[in-house]
Chain A
């Protein structure tokens, strides 16, 4: 609970927001472990890494990235709206954010299914699949595909899990607080705090998109 009046001066950030910043610090370490391992494994890999775009669909994922960034923008707009007292606009932009996030996850799941169909799995390349043929023809480096699959699915999978948790949380707040008018110009901590989480998740994705898809 927020400290009663009066209290000794802490940092001038209210508890829920401070709590979210602190939580995000732990999330940074979690993703650092996964991403750091990826960097170590990739730079120490016993051969060439697969070229960008051969296994993964950059075009669709670029659109997905754009979608996620847009949902961060709509999140900012929702927060700006409620700070100005415009509850209707806040509801609209929050809903847009939820839809953007849900679409992101949906497209991600679609991409996963497609990859698995082509033969790309966490263990690497499935025997007898389309990608296995590409390995046999030398279009994909067989020596590193195991690492590629392991790191790709773990990093993007946990990111997707975090996005999903964000979408569910926002939906929960939308239904229990935003719609029934419980957020006001003075009292809307939930929007700000979930917004922080959402921007973090977006930032992690931009990093992942760059180092996993593009490079």
Chain B
């Protein structure tokens, strides 16, 4: 093995004479980059929510002028009445912003960056400058995507899934340059994602503190590591597809043009080959984070740690061979409908294993119901519903009926909101002291959780029902159809509850911003957690540790015998602990 001298450390805990710009703007510190992602992604979460409110207005009250709609341009909403031109932009961009710029950035951009080096006992990521490039690439991507709403003819209108030929031809969709902006934005996003992934993967493989063996890594790190592998391999396929779509629009290529021998379904295969691993990118980190919150809240080791790891790996592996379940009625060869059905049903198994293990972690625990734990329990209960509804659509003959209905929309939101977003809320509260040195207000945190939980269910559960009635997706005015008029009252009910759900998020935003400046100052380990990050001051200093900590045990030694406290950090040395065996000359 070639010996290569280590590059000079970029700073220790005490000497930090960087300028304001290099400390907070063009920072290479993984913690600052994580916080930058946090602000960027929370902004896009808000944008996605505002778009959703307008969608729900139109669905609940089709053709009625929207309060505040007067500020919209006449070409999109004359007199505040949403036009189909605008409605289709709303549904497309709601999906696009939420999937890529809210959830992906919140789970991966924030937590992979913030948590991985801290929980592994590392100074920083393997490639701090590439990390910074990853953030700014995502930033540029977000600006480009946002700008598509403001160009002539507005943002894309083909749904976040961008099926061709609708998305490829301006004369079919009515969209102008906004469509090209989507493709270009996605290419920048892909770059950001790949740069991030290669950092996370290299850091987890090579930068673990002494004693931090693979099976002593916290499940959040496992999940983020496997997610990074998924992203590394799936996102480039989306980039390739986006390039082909861009060329179709701009250079007149014929990849998807049947009149010149192209194949329409090629887009769907490429998109979903990316798209299915993508949805596991959107849930696996949430599952990892939830494991941290549940173990901490239950004061017990995670039940079945090894099974949990194998389940993460199993889900990731299977995620590559299920993509056709998005295409059961697409016109693809029906034999594929059989094979993809089997693989899709199988992926329910490792997912179920995880839910049973979380439940068993709570069993005989000494439960603490702090805000993060509430959100984690919310995750388990709501994700269970979302996951089980997936089984209905996995069965191909039944999917023939369910596909492109609100049953799918219900499923999506139970796993992404009931699942991922609850995990995100809980994680923001949990790691807030580590990021900012202060606590978020616990009482308001609980109020926010309960109101969100209630209105989330009243908004999205009825979507199963209207889906069962046959309500299609992306419909500007459902009342055109006689068979949908009987369920229109449910649409109104859903919309009203959606408005309430959105309004309640104000509590979270106010709590977040207020606590940044006025929150109670945090003690070093306010949650009495075992993670290595809690052995550092709050907020954690630049460079994290002067010398890496030594790890003596696994990450979930709560309520361990032999110590008085009900937690036992990974690096606390007990008389019975031995020093770990080290690889020669470190490297």
- Chain B CB within 10 Å — which of A13, A14, A46 has the most? A14
A44 within 8 A of partner (CB): yes
Interface string of A6-32 (1 = CB under 8 A from B): 111111111110110011011101111
A141 nearest in chain B by CB position: B261
Beta-carbon contact of B198 and A30 below 8 Å: no
**Complex interface: chain B residues within 8 A of A25 (CB):** 232-233
Interface presence of A119 (CB below 8 A): no
Q: How far is the CB of A211 from chain B (nearest CB, A)?
A: 16
Contact A4 B548, beta carbon cutoff 8 Å = yes
- A1 & B124 in contact (Cβ 8 Å cutoff): yes
A5-B6, A19-B202, A25-B233 known; A10 vs B207 contact (CB < 8 Å): yes
Measured in the bound complex, the distance between the Cα atoms of B247 and A6 in whole Å is 50
Contact B4 A189 (CB under 8 A): yes
The listed residue (A1, A29, A46, A186) touching B261 by CB distance below 8 A is A46
How far, in angstroms, from A46 to B2 measured CA to CA in the complex?
Answer: 54
* Contact indicator per residue, chain A 118-159, by CB within 8 Å of chain B (1) or not (0): 000111100000000000000000011011011101100010
Q: Evaluate contact between A33 and B236: CB separation under 8 angstroms.
A: yes
Chain A contacts of B580 at CB under 8 A? 8
Tell whether A214 is near chain B: CB-to-CB under 8 Å: no
Name A45's closest neighbour in chain B (CB-CB).
B261
With a cutoff of 8 Å between Cβ atoms, the chain B residues found around residue A203 in the complex are none
Closest to B195 in A: A23
> Are B253 and A29 interface neighbours, CB within 8 A?
no
A40 to B268, CA, bound (A): 13
B207–A29 CB distance below 8 A:
no
CA distance A10 to B206 in the complex (A): 4
| Given contact pairs A33-B240, A187-B4, A3 touches B253 in the complex (Cβ within 8 A) | no
Are A22 and B261 in touch, CB under 8 angstroms?
Answer: no
> Does A169 sit within 8 A of B, measured CB to CB?
no
Alpha-carbon separation in the docked complex, A187 to B6 (Å): 9
Chain B hits for A144, CB < 8 A: 261
What's the tally of chain B residues with a CB closer than 8 Å to chain A?
64
Residue of B nearest to A83 (CB): B2
In the assembled complex, which residues on chain B have CB atoms less than 8 Å from the CB atom of A146?
253-254, 257, 260-262
Interface residues of B in 237-274 (CB under 8 A from A): 237, 239-241, 243-244, 247, 251-255, 257, 260-263, 266, 270
How far, in whole Å, are A41 and B265 apart by their CA atoms in the complex? 11
A11/B206 in contact, CB under 8 A: yes
Bound state CA distance, A192 and B209, in angstroms?
26
A147 near B251 with CB under 8 A, answer: no
Cα of A5 to Cα of B5 in the assembled complex, Å: 11
Q: Which residue, of A8, A10, A122, has the highest number of chain B Cβ atoms within 10 A?
A: A8
Distance from B546 Cβ to chain A, minimum over Cβ atoms (Å): 10
Contacts of A41 in B (CB 8 A): 255, 261-263, 266
The docked-state distance in angstroms from the alpha carbon of A137 to that of B206 is 62
Q: Does B488 contact A (CB under 8 A)?
A: no
**Would you call the interface of chain B mostly helix, strand, loop, or mixed?**
loop
Q: Residues 86-109 of chain B: 1 if any A CB is under 8 Å from the residue's CB, otherwise 0?
A: 000000000000000000000000
Chain B residues closer than 8 Å to A44, beta-carbon distance: 261, 263
A3 and B587 form a contact (CB under 8 A):
yes
Given the contacts A15-B127, A33-B241, A26 and B236 also touching, CB distance less than 8 Å? yes
Chain A residue at minimum C-beta to C-beta distance from B237: A33
A53 at the B interface (CB under 8 A): no
Query: Which residues does chain B contribute within 8 Å of A52, judged by CB atoms?
Result: none
Contacts of A13 in B (CB 8 A): 1, 206
Complex interface: stretch among B145-153, B210-218, B392-400, B518-526: B210-218
A22 touches B232 (CB 8 A): yes
* Known pairs A5-B585, A14-B4; A30 contacts B205 (CB<8 A): no
Minimal Cβ-Cβ distance residue in A for B204: A10
* Beta-carbon contacts under 8 Å, A35-92 to B: 37, 40-41, 44-47, 83
- Is the C-beta of A34 less than 8 angstroms from some C-beta in chain B? yes
Q: Once the chains bind, are B586 and A14 in contact (CB under 8 Å)?
A: no
Give 1 or 0 for each of B516-541: 1 = CB within 8 Å of chain A CB: 00000000000000000000000000
Residue B126 CB within 8 A of the other chain: yes
A7 adjacent to B266 (CB under 8 Å): no
Contact (Cβ within 8 A) B247 A154? yes
Please give, as numbers and ranges, the residues of chain A lying within 8 Å of B244 by CB-CB distance.
34, 37, 154
Contact B210 A37, beta carbon cutoff 8 Å: no
What's the least CB distance linking B269 to chain A, in Å? 8
- Interchain CA distance A25-B126 in the complex, whole Å: 17
Of all chain A residues, the one with the shortest Cβ separation from B254 is A146
Could you tell me if B237 and A4 are in contact, using CB atoms closer than 8 angstroms? no
Q: A3-B122, A15-B207, A40-B263 are in contact. Are A30 and B236 (CB under 8 A)?
A: yes
Cα of A156 to Cα of B306 in the assembled complex, Å: 46
Residues of B within 8 A of A47 (CB): 261
Q: How far, in angstroms, from A25 to B198 measured CA to CA in the complex?
A: 10
For residue A209, give the distance in angstroms from its CB to the closest CB of chain B: 20
| CB-based contact A33/B206 at 8 Å | no
CA distance A9 to B206 in the complex (A): 7
Q: Tell whether, in the assembled complex, residue B236 and residue A37 are in contact, meaning their CB atoms are under 8 Å apart.
A: no
Q: Say how far B319's CB is from chain A's closest CB, in angstroms.
A: 14
Is B542 an interface position by the 8 A CB rule?
no
Bound complex: CA A16 to CA B6 (Å)? 11
Among A5, A27, A123, A150, the residue within 8 A (CB) of B236 is A27
User: What are 6 A-B residue pairs whose CB atoms fall within 8 Å in the complex?
Assistant: A1-B6, A4-B9, A8-B580, A10-B207, A12-B587, A26-B232
A residues engaging B (CB < 8 A)?
1-16, 18-19, 22-23, 25-27, 29-34, 37, 40-41, 44-47, 83, 121-124, 143-144, 146-147, 149-151, 153-154, 158, 186-187, 189, 192
**Beyond A2-B587, A40-B263, 9 extra complex contacts between A and B, CB < 8 Å:** A1-B123, A5-B585, A6-B582, A7-B206, A18-B202, A19-B130, A26-B197, A147-B262, A153-B253
Which 5 pairs across A and B sit closest by C-beta, in order of nearness? Answer: A33-B240, A5-B586, A123-B252, A146-B260, A150-B253
